[in-house]
Structure 1
Amino acid sequence: MVEAGPAAAALTPAPAKGTGSPWPGRLTKLVSVSAAIGVWQLLTANDVRFWLRFDTLPTVTEILTAFGRRLGTDTYFLDLAQSLLRILSGFGLATVAGVLTGIALGRSRRFANVVGPLTELARPVPAIAVVPIAILLFPDDEAGIVFITFLAAYFPIMVSTRHAVRALPTLWEDSVRTLGGGRWDVLLRVVFPGSLPGVFGGLSVGIGVAWICVISAEMISGRLGVGYRTWQAYTIVDYPGVFVGIITIGVLGFGTSAAVELLGRRVTRWLPRGQENAR
């Protein structure tokens, strides 16, 4: 009987990472959220006041009761539809404009010299600070809110795309040109697919910033939407209604961010993800 030596041991395949059950991780997340909810209920139900005034905030049961009442109204779903329409419109326009501009800035020195300074001057300005200009510029509030949402998402997408394009190895482009490829071949076969990881990184950031700005714009100048309804609940001292709005915003933001991440995984499935799966 021949014993396996070091060489045979070296040829033995290592166990694959990330092949374990996902349930322990999911259970940990569920316990974490449940614990936070339990602590909130404990502090608010017992009127704890130790620097932070939990006695002024609604309990979890009061919030759930208010949530149930809101779910039974048509206004709640109308607000949901209005906010989703605004975020999808602004974010969709920002995706197209940000990716195209980012590729142009990363590929064309002339375009970067003309447009680059304008984008760098406008980028530090918070999108929510443009609300007064949007009110004056557009004929109705709806177009102004979409514009603010677009502006909020545009810059993260554009900057991430530009950096991704500039970071591409020149060897890839040289290989395509050596095989007879032209400018469009380089863009379609090298620049666009090679920059996709960076693009989706910008999309993930952009969707989060867009939600912040669309809710803020709805609070300031909207007539419908989750942000408007949340601020309205605050003005009439309906604090459970405020938390209903906050939870709704969180769920909407989580859902759209997860959708962007899932789409990114599908489009960039060729990327190695050993370490990511191990987590």
Structure 2
Amino acid sequence: MKHNTALATLAVAPERFARAPEEPALAGSVVLRPPRPARPVAAAPETGFSAKLKRWFRLNKGAIRAMLLGCLSLGLFIALWHVLTVNRMSIYVRFINVPSPAQVLESAEAAFQSGRFIQHILISCRRILIGFSIATLVAVPLGLLMGRYKILREFVFPVSEVMRPIPAIAWVPMAIMLWPSNEESIVFITFLGSFFPILINTLHGMSTVDEVLVRAARCLGAKETATFREVYFPAALPQIFTGLTVGMGVAWVSLIAAEMISGQFGIGYFTWESYSLVQYSDIALGMICIGVLGLASSFAIRAVGRIVTPWAARH
């Protein structure tokens, strides 16, 4: 009977028999605790193509959103271009002679079928590659040395600052006099256009190097060459790639200006020749081609920069 009464009391008020955490257990006493809740059973991970596709969308939703917004903006731009040109609107800015997207598309089909337009593109890409590569090979080491040695920076920086604001189109007459052929003068102007952004950004990257890392490397016995290789160069790499991206854009601007004035081939010459021949659709085609080539080259540099500098912050 007493045993049954105790069980009934436990069922009604179990808290009377539960020991508080701070109360010590008496010898020989029985402590009753409520049962632990059962652990939830983890659901088995989904497998198959649909699960992989969902995972991929979840990991890349930021890039997908950016791509969709970019496609939307381009679509709206082309739609606005079509409305303004088809209706020949003249709201202070005149769209009377501006070709429509359909007319530019027809010109593009004819240009790519002839093969001459592709030749212009290849020549411009070759000039960009040569001029930009030379600028990179000169500006990056010079910027690293100027950022490291103050006396070199004080000696070279004033000259670079005087030459940097001079536009590329102003260099065309001087380049024609300096170099024996138009090809070399155009490459020289492309070199100048990309040189200064790369140099300035490399200098900025060197100024952001943490001196604590430099002192730590020297305390560990690193020589000057090893410090450059292991500390200065990796720390400045994100800014160097920023300079390369900016320099590529300026290189295209400089190249087109040089080709319009002194060139006989290239996408800039093609665009200026189309204006001289009153072929308005080809003018728009050349402009679009310049934009696409510049975008592709800058995107390639950014992609290489993300691979080479994985520690850099990505925005």
- TM-score, structure 1 as length reference: 0.90
1: CA distance between counterparts of 2:304 and 2:66?
22
Q: Where does the alignment leave 5 or more consecutive residues of structure 2 unmatched?
A: 1-35, 38-57
CA deviation after TM superposition for structure 1 residue 209, in Å:
0.4
In the alignment, structure 1 residue 171 sits paired with structure 2 residue 200: no
Compared CA separation, residues 91 and 20, structure 1 to 2 (3 A): closer
Alpha-carbon RMSD: 1.6
User: Corresponding residue for 2:17?
Assistant: none
1:130-141 alignment, distance < 5 Å? 130-141=171-182
1: CA distance between counterparts of 2:122 and 2:238?
30
User: Corresponding residue for 1:73?
Assistant: 114
User: Corresponding residue for 2:59?
Assistant: 19
1:148-163 alignment, distance < 5 Å? 148-163=189-204
Give the alignment partner of residue 88 of structure 2, picking from 16, 35, 47: 47
1: CA distance between counterparts of 2:278 and 2:169?
25
1:101-140 alignment, distance < 5 Å? 101-140=142-181
CA deviation after TM superposition for structure 1 residue 19, in Å:
2.8
> Residues 189 and 258 of structure 2 are in contact (CA less than 8 Å); yes or no, is this contact kept in structure 1?
yes
1: CA distance between counterparts of 2:190 and 2:288?
20
Secondary structure (helix, strand or coil) at the match of 1:56 reads coil
Give the alignment partner of residue 302 of structure 2, picking from 255, 261, 266: 261
Secondary structure (helix, strand or coil) at the match of 1:156 reads helix
User: Corresponding residue for 2:27?
Assistant: none
1: CA distance between counterparts of 2:157 and 2:100?
50
CA deviation after TM superposition for structure 1 residue 23, in Å:
3.0
For each residue in 1:196-226, what CA deviation from the matched residue of structure 2 results, as whole angstroms up to 9, or x when unmatched?
A: 0010010111000000010010000000000
Q: How many residues align?
A: 261
2: CA distance between counterparts of 1:61 and 1:221?
31
Give the alignment partner of residue 229 of structure 1, picking from 262, 270, 275: 270
1: CA distance between counterparts of 2:191 and 2:65?
39
User: Corresponding residue for 1:185?
Assistant: 226
User: Corresponding residue for 2:285?
Assistant: 244
User: Corresponding residue for 1:91?
Assistant: 132
For each residue in 1:145-176, what CA deviation from the matched residue of structure 2 results, as whole angstroms up to 9, or x when unmatched?
A: 00000001000000100111122111111111
1: CA distance between counterparts of 2:279 and 2:120?
17
| Higher-helix-fraction structure | 1
Give the alignment partner of residue 194 of structure 1, picking from 235, 242, 248: 235
2: CA distance between counterparts of 1:100 and 1:134?
25
User: Corresponding residue for 1:270?
Assistant: 311
> Residues 274 and 282 of structure 2 are in contact (CA less than 8 Å); yes or no, is this contact kept in structure 1?
yes
Q: Higher RCO, 1 or 2 (CA under 8 Å, sep at least 6)? A: 1
CA deviation after TM superposition for structure 1 residue 20, in Å:
4.8
1: CA distance between counterparts of 2:259 and 2:65?
40
Give the aligned residue type for 1:95.
Answer: T
Larger radius of gyration: 2
> Residues 168 and 257 of structure 2 are in contact (CA less than 8 Å); yes or no, is this contact kept in structure 1?
no
1: CA distance between counterparts of 2:164 and 2:98?
37
Give the alignment partner of residue 105 of structure 2, picking from 60, 64, 73: 64
Q: Which runs of 4+ in 1 moved over 4 A?
A: none
Q: Where does the alignment leave 5 or more consecutive residues of structure 1 unmatched?
A: 3-17
CA deviation after TM superposition for structure 1 residue 121, in Å:
1.6
Give the aligned residue type for 2:250.
Answer: V
> Residues 104 and 285 of structure 2 are in contact (CA less than 8 Å); yes or no, is this contact kept in structure 1?
yes
User: Corresponding residue for 1:146?
Assistant: 187
Secondary structure (helix, strand or coil) at the match of 2:96 reads helix
- TM-score, structure 2 as length reference: 0.80
CA deviation after TM superposition for structure 1 residue 115, in Å:
1.6
CA deviation after TM superposition for structure 1 residue 230, in Å:
0.4
Secondary structure (helix, strand or coil) at the match of 1:229 reads helix
